[in-house]
Amino acid sequence: MLITENILVALAGLKANIMRSLLTMLGIIIGIASVIAIMTVGNSITIMVNQTMQDLGANNLQMGVMQKSQNNESSDTGMNYGEGYIRPLEDSDLISQEMLDDFTTEYKDNIQYVLLYQDIATRWDNAKVSKGNTSANVNLQGLNADALKFKNLKMISGRQFIGHDYKEAKKTCVVSDKLVDRLFKGEYDSVIGKEIEVTVSGNYYKYYIVGVYEYVQDSFSFGASDNPTTDIYVPYETARIQTHNQNKGIQYCDLVTTIDTNNDEFATKVRDFFNVKYYSKNDTYEVVCISMTSMMDSMNSMISMIQLALSVIAAISLVVGGIGVMNIMLVSITERTKEIGTRKALGATNGSIRLQFITESVVICLIGGIIGMLAGVGLGTFAVKMMGYEAAVSVESIVIAVGFSMAIGVFFGYYPANKAAKLNPIDALRYE
């Protein structure tokens, strides 16, 4: 009951001096709002980066043929290049289809897809598809069947590639709905079978549209564009022929593993399989395999450290706010010296006096913390929305911030409260 009365007395005191109370809380409000806003932005960016990297295959393995290091030792990632090439890469050094088939059979329980890509034009090549005076910006990429499945495109019209598209290197393509909207006025069904011409640095590539997929904006893109750069996909063998890739084997590919596979451990198995079975007698090249999981963990750790550093800087204002609370409590004790003397004369113990003023300090900081929490959530959400991302408010940061504000109330309120408790009642009653 005593605590309830102390809270009511504290609220009455705040109401009697609203302006002074708000100015006292200001440091707490700014500190809590800053911490929560920073945590909200940091969490939102972390989620966005993780999602984007997962979409790009951050949970996959990257496998490739590279030069052996001169001392014939490999790091944990297998990424040793040596000081120079002894001889150029030859077809016999590449990973053949037979090797891949043997590998996927051996580890069929660990591998979902083997992804093969062949870029014809990226966004840096300024590739375009034109119709009359209108053009659409595109990337042009060849995919094997597994890579196209992994893309998980949502088809609006037509079909994806089938067996003979790959085997016969057909000049077929799958385009986005944004391209069709821009060049063909959204006539998704009628564009199937139509020919388009892609211009890439003075070269021209002609394809026949067999399917239209739904475009999904890249997570790193800001805002909407009336002419976004979208992807045109063609069969992998078609892209190899058009880029004059005469290699009979594969130098690089991505591996999509099953959910229960530990990628870091599996990467070692991949290297051992190829290097022991196929590359043990190769004097210059070996197969390396790296997991992007460690890279994503490092990126998350870096974001968290930056987030923590900014939060600590913002929390300095909480200390300033706590000093303000201590100052105002000392002033309040001076103003209420006679009240304290009267209470002690009527039998109030030092503990009850101390509890009264600590409660008032905590109430001030708690109200400031709640206001700061609301301001921080609003400010953080606004900042994230302005960046074009979805806000991810951290409940943990809210609990910690508000709890910290209460702790500040206790810490900075104890000295004034203890000073009030030790007042001599006779001296207090004589105080003018």
CB 288 within 8 A of CB 98: no
In a domain, 257, yes or no: no
432 — pLDDT class (breaks 50, 70, 90): low
Residues in Cβ contact with 88 at an 8 Å cutoff, skipping those fewer than 6 apart:
none
State whether 283 and 305 are in the same domain.
no
Cβ-based burial of 226 (10 A; exposed 0-12, middle 13-18, buried ≥19): exposed
User: 95-109, 159-173, 272-286, 412-426: which range is least confident on average?
Assistant: 412-426
**Mean pLDDT calculated for residue range 422-431:** 63
Beta pairing class for 155-158 and 285-291: unpaired
State whether 310 and 425 are in the same domain.
yes
- Rounded alpha-carbon distances, angstroms, from residue 373 to 55, 266, 394: 33, 45, 11
User: Is the pLDDT higher at 321 or at 374?
Assistant: 374
State whether 74 and 45 are in the same domain.
no
Beta pairing class for 252-257 and 155-158: unpaired
User: Is the pLDDT higher at 50 or at 290?
Assistant: 290
223 — pLDDT class (breaks 50, 70, 90): very low
**Mean pLDDT calculated for residue range 364-390:** 84
Predicted local confidence at residue 81, as pLDDT: 45
Phi, psi of 286 (to 5 degrees): -150, 165
In a domain, 258, yes or no: no
In a domain, 351, yes or no: yes
Give the span between the Cα atoms of 127 and 230, in whole angstroms.
Answer: 10
State whether 133 and 206 are in the same domain.
yes
Predicted local confidence at residue 58, as pLDDT: 59
State whether 78 and 127 are in the same domain.
no
In a domain, 254, yes or no: no
State whether 222 and 343 are in the same domain.
no
Predicted local confidence at residue 428, as pLDDT: 55
User: Is the pLDDT higher at 88 or at 279?
Assistant: 279
| Helix locations, 74-215, DSSP H | 97-106, 145-151, 163-167, 177-184
Give the span between the Cα atoms of 33 and 43, in whole angstroms.
Answer: 15
Q: What is the C-alpha end-to-end distance of the chain, expressed in Å?
A: 31
76 — pLDDT class (breaks 50, 70, 90): very low
Considering the entire predicted model, what is its pTM? 0.61
In a domain, 256, yes or no: no
CB 240 within 8 A of CB 143: no
| Helix locations, 56-154, DSSP H | 97-106, 145-151
State whether 107 and 228 are in the same domain.
no
Residue 159 burial (CB count, 10 A): 13
Domain of 369, in residue numbers = 2-53+297-430
pLDDT per position as a tens digit, 11-33: 776 777 777 778 778 888 888 88
In a domain, 135, yes or no: yes
pLDDT per position as a tens digit, 260-301: 888 888 999 999 999 999 999 998 999 999 887 766 777 778
User: 72-76, 94-98, 336-340: which range is least confident on average?
Assistant: 72-76
Residue 40 burial (CB count, 10 A): 25
Residues in Cβ contact with 357 at an 8 Å cutoff, skipping those fewer than 6 apart:
329, 332, 333, 413, 416, 417, 420, 421
State whether 35 and 132 are in the same domain.
no
Predicted local confidence at residue 56, as pLDDT: 58
State whether 175 and 230 are in the same domain.
yes
Closest CA to 336 of 26, 5, 12, 2: 12
Strands in 111-115's sheet, in edge-to-edge order, are 111-115, 252-257, 61-67, 285-291
pLDDT at 302 over 50: yes
State whether 123 and 107 are in the same domain.
no
Q: 3-class DSSP state for residue 82?
A: coil
User: Is the pLDDT higher at 347 or at 108?
Assistant: 108
Provide the number of structural domains found in the chain: 3
In a domain, 39, yes or no: yes
Mean pLDDT of the chain: 82
- Rounded alpha-carbon distances, angstroms, from residue 413 to 32, 148, 321, 333: 18, 64, 12, 11
In a domain, 255, yes or no: no
State whether 26 and 95 are in the same domain.
no
pLDDT per position as a tens digit, 136-148: 999 999 999 999 9
Percent of the chain with pLDDT over 90: 35
State whether 99 and 10 are in the same domain.
no
Predicted local confidence at residue 411, as pLDDT: 81
